Chains A and B, each alone.
Chain A
Amino acid sequence: MAAALTVDCRKTFPGRFFMSAQLTLPPDPPCVLILFGPSGSGKTTLLRCLAGLEWPEEGRIQFGSTTWVDTASNVRLAPQVRRIGYMPQDYALFPTHTVAGNIEYGLSDLSAEARKERVRELIELFQLQGLEQANPTQLSGGQQQRVALARAIARRPQFLLLDEPLSALDAPTRAKLCSELRLLLKQLAIPAVVVTHDWAEALTLGDVIAVMQGGTILQTDSPQEVFSRPVNAEVAKIVGIETVVQGQVIASDDGLATVSVNGTSLKGLGANVSGSPVYVCIRAEDVLLEQAGSGITSARNRLSGLVTEVLPQGVMMTVTVDCGFPLRAMITRGAGKELGLKIGSTVVATIKAGAVHLVPRSV
């Protein structure tokens, strides 16, 4: 079976940047691809090429068995016939239409009755009851996001494209809608591409992450691979989280959760339900190393382990400690010398609970 999506295209923006992207998405199961990178890295441009709103100068975009773009044979499929659900940043709700009108907007092929039924269904799914006749400007950010999503999936698209779906929201709403979005993407079971610059969103939503920088894709891999084994220093710098391991919440008390990672128990933050699977994310600069056998600290996590790798990076060095899982720590070279760190030496790694980020993951 052909790949769900094959992309190989180039586009220049005079004086700004050059985009060159190669991508392949497996057909089964339908997966969510995250385009991850800092602003200006070309993620939105690539997404717009997929939507048919931007045209690559050279290359191909193939979706399933349909060619969407092929500059060699001059194929350029209009956005109208791609059967996509596209949600731009800031949602672009039509101010001329009510909430129901926005959702109904693309459904003119359906009979009036089927249209009404579909709108009712979506209003219910997205908990927008009572707001059918409201004007988009009267809605909160979270409600606007829901309306935009409802509108995007109303036509039962075969491919979903979301540009920074959560960035316009405040932090608490974002966390809530992020897990809702994850459920929705699983339910829809269609391939999707989501643009984001937030690593927690990338981990929560993505099956595959493509890290972009300066218009090119540097690495395409599973979330855990990308975060814990970046292909080069550039990717490592973009993702900024050196330790990402899978864990299971075993207890949760007032937002302070205890997670088990390969038998090692850690305290971390995140109001997670006991038993739920999570990614445990720790930045290397949040890990302190000391010689085994010293005093008590306020830190909740003290893990002893063997040094398995020492990587000098300028004045700093990255040390990997095996404490049931590979934990990366970043310390100065001077500190490394004082501790007498070398491969095989025993150290105690200390991490404050607040630096252990727990991100929900699907099994």
Chain B
Amino acid sequence: MPVSVGKTADKGGTVNWLAIWVTFKLACLTASVLLVVGLPIAYWLTFSKRRWKFIVESVVALPLVLPPTVLGFYILVAIGPHSPVGRFYTDLVGHPLPFTFEGLLVASIFYSLPFAVQPFATAFEQVDRRLIETSWTLGVSKLKTFFHLIVPLSTAGLITGVVLSFAHTLGEFGVVLMVGGNIEGETRTISIDIYDEVQALNYAGAAKTALLLLAVSYGVLLLVYAVNRKVWVVWPQR
């Protein structure tokens, strides 16, 4: 693992804006992809009547309990040049997936999956079934019912899921180190940058970056709790 120490040592107390840019790009993309991928998964988990649903539920929740290094290791193996997925990607794009931004993105998506899917599913669960059924009897398809009725009634849960997966990606460390390596401008994120600064005994630089991450994380949680306040959950008037 190429954890370099030397590069950051000469920067003094300045903030590594490149790492911040990479991190925010990663978090935004992860949250966006999870919004698209998480909705159908959450819909299926909420409304399916299959008996083996719990198996999928457990798989989705796995990243919550798994050490990031374990998850990172398996993703690394799965997308590496010896796996079919990895070979297919290499044939398609021309270079292997690990230690690239795209590889990091794939890993982040898996790592933050429960942070998006679980709030989505909880929100869908709270939508009155009779509203959904009534919509169906009015000739409205399941897909249209989803977008016209279920999504507007679940906005708070959707915002929570997106924001939490965004925030969770901002702070990830183990998976990034395993899958992304530490390539400046490509896969070096804020949390790794802080680690490097501390390793180089550059506490002033670490402090500034850490404060920034703390502020952003706190702001994000403020947003989550604000949208989940009972008064304007679902319907702002009354």
Q: Do A and B assemble together?
A: yes
Binding site for B on A (CB under 8 A): 51-53, 78-86, 88, 90, 92, 94-96, 105-106, 108-109, 135, 137-138, 151, 154-155, 161
The answer to whether B137 touches A51, judged by C-beta atoms less than 8 angstroms apart, is yes
Contact among A92, A135, A161 with B130 in the assembled complex (CB-CB below 8 Å): A92
- If over half of B's interface residues share one DSSP class (helix, strand or loop), that class is named, otherwise mixed; here it is helix
**What 5 A-B pairs come out closest when comparing CB atoms?**
A106-B138, A86-B137, A92-B130, A96-B152, A79-B136
Interface majority SS (helix, strand, loop, mixed), chain A? loop
User: B residues within 8 Å of A by Cβ?
Assistant: 128, 130-131, 133-141, 144, 148-149, 152-153, 234-235, 237-238
* Of the residues B139, B149, B234, contact of A83 by C-beta under 8 Å: B139
| Bound Cα distance A85, B235 (Å) | 27
Nearest residue in B to A53 (C-beta to C-beta)? B133
Given A82-B137, A108-B140, 12 extra CB contacts under 8 A: A52-B137, A86-B134, A86-B137, A88-B130, A92-B133, A94-B131, A95-B235, A96-B149, A96-B153, A96-B235, A108-B144, A137-B235
- Asked if A95 and B139 make an inter-chain contact with CB atoms under 8 angstroms apart, the answer reads no
Known contacts A92-B128, A96-B149, A96-B153: A135-B137 contact under CB 8 Å: no
Query: Do A80 and B149 touch across chains, with their CB atoms under 8 A apart?
Result: no
Would B139 and A138 count as touching, CB distance under 8 A?
no
Q: Is the CB of B238 within 8 A of A92?
A: no
A151 & B138 in contact (Cβ 8 Å cutoff): yes
* CB-based contact B137/A94 at 8 Å: no
B141 to chain A, nearest CB (A): 6
Q: Could you tell me the distance between the alpha carbons of A90 and B238 in the complex, rounded to whole angstroms?
A: 19
A108–B148 Cα gap in the complex (Å)?
Answer: 12
A155–B131 Cα distance when bound, in Å, is: 17
Some 10 contacts from A to B, beta carbons below 8 A apart, are: A52-B136, A80-B137, A80-B141, A88-B133, A96-B148, A96-B235, A105-B138, A108-B140, A108-B144, A138-B238
Residue of B with least CB distance to A109 = B139
Within 8 Å by CB of B134, from A52, A83, A88, lies A88
B-side contacts of A95, CB under 8 Å: 131, 153, 234-235
Nearest-CB distance from A131 to chain B (Å)? 15
- Cα A161 to Cα B136 in complex, Å, equals 14
Distance from B153 Cβ to chain A, minimum over Cβ atoms (Å): 6
For B139, the chain A residues whose CB sits under 8 A away are 80-81, 83, 106, 109, 155
| Contact present for B140 and A105 (CB under 8 Å) | yes
- Output the nearest chain A residue to B128 by Cβ-Cβ distance: A92
Question: For B237, what are the chain A residues with a Cβ–Cβ distance below 8 Å?
Answer: 135
Contacts of A105 in B (CB 8 A): 135, 138, 140, 148
Residues of B close to A161: CB separation below 8 A: 137
Q: Are A94 and B149 in contact (CB under 8 A)?
A: yes
A96 to B135 Cα, complex, angstroms:
12
Is A53's CB under 8 angstroms from B136's CB? yes
Please state if B153 and A79 are interface contacts (CB–CB under 8 Å): no
Chain A residues closer than 8 Å to B238, beta-carbon distance: 135, 137-138
